Structure 1
């Protein structure tokens, strides 16, 4: 009977020690409540509690990687897209993360989803596709400000995918093709403009040297004759035609 009593006491003492001694790793902190009241943050290492009277809630301080589920977003230019993202955050004040919010992970997840829809809905599709860094920074700033009261620090936000439906993809492809065609036409027009300037300069230079015009005329005839054409057109320079007309006019005046 006495042996059973001592065995009971020893067992009770062992249970007491197991309940009283806690060991926290370097990346964890323990929020301690005494009779339901917050009494401090302890850890890492060995922690001794008063069983039944004190309670310990563990909080992980490592960076948490959270996937934001795909959200349906309507852009500012009324384009419907599906967007998902990833959020990197960590707890910096364990007491606030436990006391100020019920489940900080779920709270950050819900806030990230609503903020993602709100921020992207204020921008056009081109901004979503071409200015992701700015959008990531805007979302991170808003989340960090909102979660500060929960003792949570949002380190980074990255938009992973912006998915479009097939009709919108085809429309963007047509738009890109039209843009390429426009650029090609602009480049061609610019080339024509530059060519016309050079031709004008060449014409001015040739007009100052009549012999040069004759040499150019002869070179043109040689080029045409060497092409094996069945029909050969002999171009006549305007100044040659004018000289012939003047000669004919002079003869007509002499005979009269």
Structure 2
């Protein structure tokens, strides 16, 4: 008599325990009734009839997906290995479960192929210097293609672009040549500016001979302070003509 009462009670309690589902705030449950989609439920307490209803849990938090290293041939025929990290989340649990078999694996495979496709359209220099633009391009493409799966791609970041040793040495030589080119340009610009200033100074001195004489005397004074015992310095003909003119005037006055 007691056994006949306890068995149904145990069965009812067992079914009740199996029917109760508790979903946290970051999860939703996609409920199917006899194989057909019924509703998206949660968070909180959910009652599911065993054998008749099924529930699939979906995490709504941002998922970090590490894209494996991919061999990419750039537009200038350079082979590199590139890996990236992808951040995405499920925004429509119904589509994420019904429209694709495994949305995590599908997103990973799509990210790998998109990474190779986008980077293959750019040169090596663009891969190294324009990562923000490439990240945005990959993110935009993935976001459009995964929209049918109820997935939102939040961000894509290229982590590493690995080169072989020969390419690293070639880039180092290129950087060194670029530095030498810039140094020569800066030196040439300095010479041009100095020549322009000297030309301006020569123009001023040509209109004022006294300025040229003062500059000559200043240079002679600077040379006298050096430790050299003998200094050869050109003597301006203008000063010589001035001296010759003063002597000729003195001789004329003496004869008069």
TM-score (structure 1 length as normaliser): 0.89
Cα deviations across residues 198-253 of structure 1 (Å, max 9, x unaligned)? 1111111111222222222222222223222244212122545788999xxxxxxx
The alpha carbon displacement at 1:174 in A equals 1.3
Paired with 1:12 and 1:211, the residues of 2 have a C-alpha distance of: 122
Q: Which moved more, 1:12-21 or 1:144-153?
A: 12-21
Report the RMSD for the aligned CA atoms in angstroms: 2.0
Q: Residue 119 in 1 paired to residue 118 in 2?
A: yes
Three-state SS of the structure 2 residue aligned to 1:181 is: helix
Aligned length: 245
Paired with 1:215 and 1:25, the residues of 2 have a C-alpha distance of: 92
Q: Residue 226 in 1 paired to residue 189 in 2?
A: no
How is 1:157-168 mapped onto 2 (pairs within 5 angstroms)?
157-168=156-167
Structure 2: unaligned runs, 5 residues or longer:
246-256
Cα deviations across residues 86-111 of structure 1 (Å, max 9, x unaligned)? 11111111111111111000000000
The alpha carbon displacement at 1:36 in A equals 1.1
- Large movers: runs of 4+ above 6 Å: 241-246
Paired with 1:190 and 1:245, the residues of 2 have a C-alpha distance of: 43
Paired with 1:213 and 1:99, the residues of 2 have a C-alpha distance of: 93
Partner of 1:128 in structure 2?
Answer: 127
Three-state SS of the structure 2 residue aligned to 1:68 is: strand
TM-score (structure 2 length as normaliser): 0.89
Partner of 2:253 in structure 1?
Answer: none
Does the CA contact (< 8 Å) of 2:213 and 2:239 recur in 1?
Answer: no
Paired with 1:244 and 1:181, the residues of 2 have a C-alpha distance of: 51
Paired with 1:235 and 1:216, the residues of 2 have a C-alpha distance of: 13
Partner of 2:90 in structure 1?
Answer: 91
Three-state SS of the structure 1 residue aligned to 2:146 is: helix
Partner of 1:186 in structure 2?
Answer: 185
Three-state SS of the structure 2 residue aligned to 1:102 is: coil
Paired with 1:74 and 1:111, the residues of 2 have a C-alpha distance of: 18
Partner of 2:99 in structure 1?
Answer: 100
Q: Residue 150 in 1 paired to residue 149 in 2?
A: yes
Paired with 2:237 and 2:58, the residues of 1 have a C-alpha distance of: 95
Q: Which moved more, 1:111-120 or 1:14-23?
A: 14-23
Partner of 1:252 in structure 2?
Answer: none
Paired with 2:107 and 2:240, the residues of 1 have a C-alpha distance of: 88
The alpha carbon displacement at 1:197 in A equals 1.0
Partner of 1:75 in structure 2?
Answer: 74
Partner of 2:216 in structure 1?
Answer: 217
Cα deviations across residues 12-56 of structure 1 (Å, max 9, x unaligned)? 212211222211111111111111111111111111122101111
Paired with 2:42 and 2:87, the residues of 1 have a C-alpha distance of: 24
Paired with 1:72 and 1:243, the residues of 2 have a C-alpha distance of: 82
Paired with 2:131 and 2:241, the residues of 1 have a C-alpha distance of: 68
Paired with 2:123 and 2:240, the residues of 1 have a C-alpha distance of: 64
Does the CA contact (< 8 Å) of 2:27 and 2:57 recur in 1?
Answer: yes
